[in-house]
Amino acid sequence: MALTIHTDHLVVGSGIAGLMLAHKLGQSHKVVIIAKESLSENNSSYAQGGIASVLSPEDSFNKHIEDTLEAGAGLCHRDIVKTVVEAGPKVIRELISLGVDFTKREGGGKTQPYHLTLEGGHSERRIIHADDLTGAEVVRALIAQIRTNPNITIYENTFAIDLLTTDKVSPIFSQNYCLGAYAFHRDSSEIFEIRSVATHLCAGGHGKVYLYTSNPDVATGDGLAMGWRAGCRVANLEFMQFHPTCLYSQKEKTFLISEAVRGEGAVLKTADGKLFMQNYHPLQSLAPRDIVARAIDSEIKKSGVPYVYLDARSIGIDKIKDRFPNIYRVCLEQGIDMTKAMIPVVPAAHFSCGGLVTDSVGHTSVTNLFAIGEVACTGLHGANRLASNSLLEALVFAGRVADHIEANGILEAPQVPSIPWRSTGSIEPDELVVLTHTWDEIRRMMWNYVGIVRSDKRLQRAYAKIVAIRQELETFYWENQIDTSLLEVRNLADVAFLTIRCALKRKESRGIHFNIDYPHPIDNPAPIDTVIW
């Protein structure tokens, strides 16, 4: 390892949380931001629906707060919910000032110029969006700001391997400091050390731990796995949200059909064309996501057909083409004209409500290490995320972390000399097949045993399997040279292990987590529960 980079702030991950944080910190600090692939390839870029915020005179902060608490099934932290919801309008104004082109309302005036849509669990229209490509539009605008800031250095195609902490290299025992990270450049295969005053984990998505997911291939839980290995507390990983409506297709299994389609009038129907959501919830097709996902799962098991239908025909041709141009285009590419035919859909892993436990300004349990976005467990989402609160959370907490640092600075860490990376061995081409098989084994195991409906027996089987897989991977990891596939599978195995442990600890059904052996919730759960190390 020939290179050591020094910076004030290291931002790991280039989703909306990392980009907004880098933009804010970069106004007065030196920032290094690393992206596993290109700066624009991240979970945020695939977010379709929008950002939940109180922007209508018919809406109120209290309504948004209560909707969030209702969806969170008793595990939300009310103070965090209030803080995030009330910061929403300011965040939206800031995005507009940075050049985000939100969809305008037809005939809209100065008081309410933007189109707001409705999604499941919301009592009012409060989802501001950029057609059906909101995440990509926000990412575009933030990248434009970052690329012109001389204080920000960007490393693309760069994979963070592990965090560098005092516990690992020079233990203090009373306090564990994060000093930066080791990084692997995918093009040159060079491993280098990044030393930072503060480190920020913003690489949160881990949907690829499941066989079917709306997440892109980069969502392998890298930030979560690194944070846990560094000593961060972890909680609520049993609450993986399954988006109810992903396109079912032999050609395209991961494309998400936004909840906003149901907000505009689409309804769910069985494989033989009958309405069914009235049997599960008064809000029917606009019920909270956990209820809709379980209902679809139940109907699929009843019928034996591996999908149900989303019928959007009542929305109308012109409105579909105008409001959902990208969804319309992708469905057409799959041979489905959603203006004339129903869309086959299936639930898929979408968003984790758990992660590295943080306080109200993003601190983890490791000093000078912050977590923002999906990698963090802030207390906002509880046992089930309210639709479109995720981008809001990422943006609000990016601002809170930056403001806290400006006001309070960073604790001075002990001086630790550079620790060269020791790498031995090599990965033979035929050995990469082992990684592919392991990746597939983990994802199928999680889908079959730790999916929408669980049982103690399934979870115990999954735990035995993941313990054996991790033991094999640990040997493989230390005997072979670093490779992207190896790093991703290692992280996926750690995320699966943590998710199963969390699920085993929760002896109830709540929100997204449904265990047939404990079908009812317990009384008075803690706001952030099932904390593990």
End-to-end CA distance of the chain: 31
Structure tokens at 483: 């490779």
> H helices within 409-516, ranges in order?
432-449, 456-479, 484-505
d(CA 212, CA 349): 6
d(CA 191, CA 3): 8
d(CA 467, CA 501): 11
* Residue 92 near residue 432, CB atoms below 8 Å: no
C-beta neighbour count of 146 within 10 angstroms: 22
Q: At what angle do helices 389-408 and 16-25 cross, to 10 degrees?
A: 30
CA 352 to the chain's CA centroid: 6
What's the Cα-to-Cα distance from 106 to each of 8, 114, 130, 142, rounded to whole Å? 45, 8, 14, 26
Question: Which residues partner with 177 through β-bridges?
Answer: 367
User: Is 510 designated active site?
Assistant: no
Phi, psi (deg, nearest 5) at residue 275 = -65, 145
Q: At what angle do helices 484-505 and 222-230 cross, to 10 degrees?
A: 70
Q: Tokens 């209290």 identify what position?
A: 62
Q: Which amino acid, 411?
A: L
* Residue 125 near residue 114, CB atoms below 8 Å: no
d(CA 12, CA 188): 19
Q: Which of 126, 262, 289, 506 is catalytic?
A: 289
**Catalytic sites, residue numbers:** 289
